[in-house]
Amino acid sequence: MKNPFINRRGVLQLGAGGLAFGAGLSALPGLAQDKFPSNPIDIVVPFGVGGGTDIWLRAMSIGLSSKKGLGVPVNVRNVPGAGSLRGAGEGFTADPDGYTLTGFNPPSTPWAWYLSRPPFDITQFRGVSVYVREPGIIVAHPDAGIDTFEQMIEAYNSGAKKIIASQQKGTIWHIAAMLMKQRSDINWEQYVSYKGTSDIIAAILRREVEVGIVTASSAQDAVRDGKLKPLAIVGLNERLASYPDTPTMNEAGKDPLEVCVLRRSVYAPPGIDEERRVILEKATIAAQDDTFMQAQYSSLSLEPARGTGAEADRAIADALAVAEEIDLKSIAT
């Protein structure tokens, strides 16, 4: 004999009843309420796999995924292209529910946005945190006859040295070189550009050029081995633990160029609930003390920034203010 409840109609009726029962539970106070986060979180990285931002945020995702962190899977999703604007745009237009974040590094991405003006307003991102400040360093070949930052300034201003090298036009260290001239009267005459910091270092080592600006972390090995002479830290007001004998630019009475430091940051889309943003801010700051992040800081002799979302917002605003001040479009074209 057939059971009258075991048929398609009966199953569908049971399913509907179950749904109704579930809906009733969710309406009761304290039951089936959404806890944030309760689903996996994506961090959009607008750069390729294996790059600096990718490595940093994969390390952070481990701490965020832990029970001490957010307690849900945190996945890094690479969306490179258009000078980081493709991924930034995707993160910007994501649902503002806190489950999609974006990691980029002012001033670089804001400057790319300023030059291209894609159809989203980068100033409307909501800052979550700043996890590291990575400054630049001016370095010279040991046989260039320049042992100090002051000697470098004198060499440029007297015409004894004319060339300074770094990355392509519009990039952070190119802008640093332009600001050195505009704000501090360091009058180099010719700018030579290379694709990346490794290319700049290689060019200095073979004396194709004698002075250049690179990230402080990228120069560490060559400085330690005596192949490069560190002259000054760019972007900070205090000395780096990894370069205790290298002065900052302001020690010589020059503008420290604080905007010219990579403020590696995490952002949420506009419209995110403030409660959720604060949860993410606290978690990303706490994750900077996780084992994997600490290993990354240690490997580069850098310190956690533990910057708030407000600091991440300010990093974008600062970058765009400098872009206006120096007429970035004329420099980059």
pLDDT digits (tens, 9 = 90+) for 82-103: 989 999 999 999 999 999 999 9
Q: Is residue 142 part of a domain?
A: yes
- pLDDT for 152 equals 97
Q: What is the CATH number of the domain that holds 152?
A: 3.40.190.10
Shared-domain flag, residues 52 and 122: yes
Residue 245 lies in a domain: yes
Q: Are residues 247 and 270 in the same domain?
A: no
Q: Model confidence over 184-223: pLDDT tens digits?
A: 999 999 999 998 888 999 999 999 999 999 999 889 999 9
Residue that is last in its domain, among 252, 281, 308 = 252
Give the angle subtended at the CA of 173 by the CAs of 168 and 178, to the nearest 5°: 90
Alpha-carbon torsion 83, 198, 244, 177, what sign? negative
Query: What residues contact 269, with CB distance under 8 A and at least 6 apart?
Result: 91, 92, 93, 94, 95, 96, 100, 102, 125, 126
Q: Which pLDDT value is given to residue 8?
A: 33
Per-residue pLDDT of 106-125, as tens digits, reads 999 999 999 999 999 999 99
Does residue 26 lie in a domain region?
Answer: no
| Claim to verify: residue 143 and residue 66 sit in the same structural domain | no
Which of these three, 252, 270, 290, is where a domain ends?
252
What CATH number corresponds to the domain at position 312? 3.40.190.150
Examine the domain organization and report whether 65 and 112 are in the same domain.
yes
Mean pLDDT of 264-279: 98
Position 129 in a domain: yes
Question: How confident is the model over 230-242, as pLDDT tens digits?
Answer: 999 999 999 998 8
pLDDT of residue 9: 34
Supply the pLDDT for residue 17. Answer: 39
Residues 61 and 160 in one domain: no
Q: Are residues 223 and 242 in the same domain?
A: yes
Domain boundary among 215, 232, 252: 252
**Pair 151, 246 in one domain:** yes
Contact assessment for residue 22 and residue 84, using Cβ atoms and an 8 Å cutoff: no
Average pLDDT over residues 69-78: 97
Residue whose token pair is 């400040």: 133
| pLDDT tens profile 153-181 | 999 999 999 999 998 888 899 999 999 99
Same domain, 129 and 54: yes
User: Would 4 be classed as within a structural domain?
Assistant: no
Please state, rounded to an integer, the average pLDDT across all residues of the chain: 89
Q: What is the number of structural domains in the chain?
A: 2
pLDDT tens-digit map of 14-69: 333 333 434 443 444 444 447 999 999 999 999 999 888 999 999 999 999 999 99
> Residue 85 is part of which domain span?
41-134+261-332
Is 73 a domain residue? yes
Residue 243 domain-assigned (yes or no): yes
Q: Looking at residue 80, what is its pLDDT?
A: 94
CB of 254 closer than 8 Å to CB of 247: no
Residue 3 has pLDDT above 80, yes or no: no
Q: Judge whether 11 lies within some domain.
A: no
Residues 140 and 130 in one domain: no
pTM tops 0.85: no
Residues 6+ apart with CB under 8 A from 75: 40, 41, 42, 43, 61
Predicted local distance difference test score (pLDDT) of residue 16? 37
| Residue 128, CA atoms < 13 Å, CB-side half-sphere | 32
- Identify the pLDDT of residue 281: 98
| Shared-domain flag, residues 79 and 99 | yes
Q: What is the pLDDT of residue 31?
A: 40
- Residues contacting 275, CB < 8 A, separation 6+: 36
- Which of 69, 231, 23, 205 shows the shortest CA–CA distance to 147? 231
Confidence band of 323 (pLDDT split at 50, 70, 90): very high
Query: Closest by alpha carbon to 288, among 76, 49, 56, 54?
Result: 56
pLDDT of residue 13: 37
